[in-house]
Each structure stands twice: as C-alpha cells, then as structure tokens.
Structure 1
C-alpha cells in the first residue's frame, strides 16, 4: 500500500502535533504562555497595525510586523529567548509631491537570558537589544545601528498576567548625516483570561525619543484594549487571533491618534 504526497504530509503533521509537548497542554496553560513574551514555546506572530491620521497630511500609516520567538535551553536552568521584529511599512508622504513609501524597516533583535521560573514567582529575563540598519529607504528607518539593554518581568496570578517589557537603545554606527538615536520603549503586559480560549488585554507600546529637546515631542503614550481567541484547527498548529484598538493620549506633532491592530500567532512545534 502506498501513500500519496498529500496523505504523507498529513500524517507527518499529525505526528508532529502528537509528540510536541505544546499540544499536550490545556488551553488555559497555552494562553498563559502566549501572554508571556519569554515563554518556552516557539511562536510566529504576524501583526498588522493601521495608524490613522499620521503625518502632516493626516494619512494612514500601515505596519506588518513579523515577530518570531525561538527559545533555546543553554543549561544550568537558563534559557535564551530569541525575539525578532521584522517590520514591513507603508508610510505616507511627508512633503508636498511625495508618494507613499513602502518597504522594509529597521529589524530589531532582542535576546533574553531567563531562568526557569519558580512556582508562583516572578518570570523575568534580561539581555541585549539591537536595531539593525535594514530599511530599504531613509523614510522607513533611522539610518543607524543601535544597541542597548532589554528587560522583561511578569507575574501570573489566577486569570491575570501582569508585567512589562522595556528596552533602551543608543545609536553606535550608521549614517553620520542622520540624527543620533536614543530611544526607549515600554510595553505593558496585562492579560485577563475570560475562559480557556478567550482573554482581554492591553494593547500599545509607550515610546520616548530622548533626542527630542521639546518634551511635547518626546513621548507617545497609547491606551488600548485587545481581545484574543485561541483556536486549534484539526490537523494544524494552534493559532491565537488578536484584535485591538487604541488612542495615543500623548503624542508628538504629526503622529497618529487612533490605531487598530489585528494579529495571528502560530504556535509551532519545537
């Protein structure tokens, strides 16, 4: 008896689902891990954000962030959590006569050294952050290579997961004709599980550009809420869908006010 290529692929997929410890967990445990940016699971999120009324002509700005996470055991009860952010951007014109500019932005890498968490204790990690000069156009990136520290800490209690992820980077090389970079990001992590498959959370990242001399141009502070749904399609990997929206209550001139976000997160076998 012979198997078709289609049947063979299906059998291999089923086998991988059966042996992976991720699928042995119940939905509540998997939801906890999805809310934890340094959990011991391999994920591949695709995050689409529309920022409304951006730029001097108040046009939409679009971002598709591809954000793979791959943890590696390094011994002694420690792991290295590798995270990347690959942005595909569509930025509106800044000057009269300019066209919209589409392309790749500056890729960010974050590596968190994290100990095995104790039961009921804090989950934390610390390591380097690097922003690479990869933008395909000067309007899509800073034109600099930047380095700095990254730290994350969260606490799980009942249906709640609460914490934050923060980075600070400074430019170390790049185009001498472009402004220096001193950028801070602070991502609040707030998730409340409604049931085994659904949760509510905070959406948005607080940013500060320390190179701005005017405080009114330095900070962006969003307030937003998200809803997520975990699904397990038969014969396929678990998927987590997230929709959210928010408003930048503090923002520089020409920055977006409202934003909406959609994300699909694939949980992959390791």
Structure 2
C-alpha cells in the first residue's frame, strides 16, 4: 500500500512539474513574440488609423498600413528587416471645404542589425538603416534617399514584464532636388505585461522628432494582445490606442495601432 501511495505521489509531482514547465514555456514564448530581434523569420501586418491630427481641420485623417518582413541570418547574429507602407492622407480644401484624399505606396525602409548581446533574457543590436523614395505621390513620402542607423534592445529577465526600445536616426543624402532635406529621429519604447495564457498588456508608441521643421510627436499607448501557436507559427494579435501628450506641427493626436505579427518557428 505504501509503495502504491509513493508511486501515486511520484506521478502527481511529475505531472505538476510538467504543467509548470509547460506554463513557463508558454510565458517564454509569449515574451519572445514581442522581441523585435527574435531569432525567427517574421511577417508583420500593422495599421495606424489616425482620426485626429494636431494643427489640422477636424475632417483631416490618415491611415497607414505597414507590411514588415524580418529574416535572421549568419546563425542569428544578423537580422534584416524591410518595411513598406500603404498610406491614405485626407485633408480638406480650405477654399471649398471638400476633403481630398490621396492613397498609395509610401517610402520603404530597411535595416540590418548585428546582435552584439544575445541570450535568453537580453538582446541588443545595432546597424545601418536606409530608406528608399518609393512613394507613388509626393504627399506620401519624402522624395529623398535617407540613411542612418538603428539601435534596439529587448529585456526579458522577468517572465511577467518585458521592456526595451528602438532608436533610429536618418538624414537625406540624395533624391529630388526640389524637395526639402530630411533629418529626423524616432524613439520607440515598448513594454509588455504578461497576464497569462498568452494574453498581455502592451505599449509601443513612437516618439518622432523632425529636426528640419522642428515638428514632433510624443504619444503614449496602452493596449492588449494575445499570442497563440498555430502549428509552427506564433500568431500575435493586438490593438493599442495611443494619445500624443506633446505635439508640434501637424502630427497624429490620437491613433489606433493594431496588427498581426507572425513568427515562423523552424
């Protein structure tokens, strides 16, 4: 009888241990689903809907959809990320009051990051960045070739709370001579609070600073996301309202950031 009880206890503790291990694995997967330097091929579909702009008429709005592809190489030490935008910008004609909208392809940017810190809890990378003037209309892009750098870090020492940031800077070096030169930086802090079972709270606003026109936008965001595994694909869906605390010039005042990020596990 004692042997039977001991066997039952052993099975019980083993099952509990397996359950804890599976929960820990799920938490780790949910955390890495938001790591921009994760050693996995990724395809992201993200959208910014901006119904309210600062220093613009109430009828003005913007909508930008981003398609982003990321691919690690050289054993995961390097990561290539390419992003392209499809945008709509609507602005009323001050004389007639008619809202004129322009839609099309925006500029395309890419950067290569070298991960000089890469372990289970901390990833830090940096590398060159370039933007090509692929916009189909001048209001949708800069008309300039731009070059600069990107620095990104992701800290996941806690299975509950992860944080990090992406810093980019670019300036124009070629392009249409009749278009204004560019010189701008973006800071994107991000923070994720795991609620369990793949659900998490999140924020990933982009603080933008245009040094040429002295325009800027400093939003804050708080949203919710869900991570699920579908076969060998990690699916990360989220929605995040953002409100700009500080603005100068015509910038997003309120926007809704939503997306589906796919990571493909080999």
Q: Work out which of the residue numbers 211, 236, 240 in structure 2 matches 1:244.
A: 240
Matched-pair contact (CA < 8 Å) for 1:239–1:264: yes
Provide the residue aligned with 2:137 in structure 1: 137
Provide the residue aligned with 2:250 in structure 1: 254
Post-superposition offset of 1:62: 0.5
- Cα 1:232/1:218, change in 2 over 3 Å: same
1:4-23 alignment runs, 5 A limit = none
Rounded to whole Å, the distance in 2 between the matches of 1:219 and 1:99 is 24
1:175-186 alignment runs, 5 A limit = 175-186=176-187
Post-superposition offset of 1:177: 0.8
Rounded to whole Å, the distance in 2 between the matches of 1:237 and 1:255 is 36
- Decide which moves more: 135-144 or 188-197: 188-197
Rounded to whole Å, the distance in 2 between the matches of 1:61 and 1:89 is 7
Partner secondary structure for residue 27 of structure 1: helix
Q: Is 1:45 aligned with 2:44?
A: yes
Rounded to whole Å, the distance in 2 between the matches of 1:243 and 1:255 is 20
Alignment root-mean-square deviation, CA? 2.0
Provide the residue aligned with 2:100 in structure 1: 99
Rounded to whole Å, the distance in 2 between the matches of 1:205 and 1:186 is 6
Rounded to whole Å, the distance in 1 between the matches of 2:113 and 2:221 is 26
Q: Is 1:65 aligned with 2:38?
A: no
1:18-167 alignment runs, 5 A limit = 26-54=25-53, 56-58=56-58, 59-73=60-74, 79-93=77-91, 95-96=93-94, 99-115=100-116, 117-120=118-121, 122-158=122-158, 159-167=160-168
- Cα 1:102/1:37, change in 2 over 3 Å: same
Q: Which has the larger radius of gyration?
A: 2
Q: TM-score, normalised by structure 1?
A: 0.81
Structure whose residues are more often strand by fraction: 2
Rounded to whole Å, the distance in 2 between the matches of 1:119 and 1:236 is 20
Rounded to whole Å, the distance in 1 between the matches of 2:28 and 2:187 is 26
Rounded to whole Å, the distance in 1 between the matches of 2:71 and 2:250 is 36
Post-superposition offset of 1:87: 0.6
Where does the alignment leave 5 or more consecutive residues of structure 1 unmatched?
Answer: 1-24
What is the CA deviation profile of residues 51-96 of structure 1, one whole-angstrom value per residue up to 9, with x for unaligned ones? 122373332211111111111125xxx6111112211000012644
Post-superposition offset of 1:254: 3.0
Rounded to whole Å, the distance in 2 between the matches of 1:36 and 1:183 is 24
What is the CA deviation profile of residues 160-213 of structure 1, one whole-angstrom value per residue up to 9, with x for unaligned ones? 21111101001000011111100101110211111140111113100100112x
What is the CA deviation profile of residues 212-253 of structure 1, one whole-angstrom value per residue up to 9, with x for unaligned ones? 2xxxx42210011121101234x5733111111010111123
Post-superposition offset of 1:262: 1.5
Partner secondary structure for residue 232 of structure 1: strand
Where does the alignment leave 5 or more consecutive residues of structure 2 unmatched?
Answer: 1-23
Matched-pair contact (CA < 8 Å) for 1:33–1:40: no
Rounded to whole Å, the distance in 2 between the matches of 1:92 and 1:62 is 9
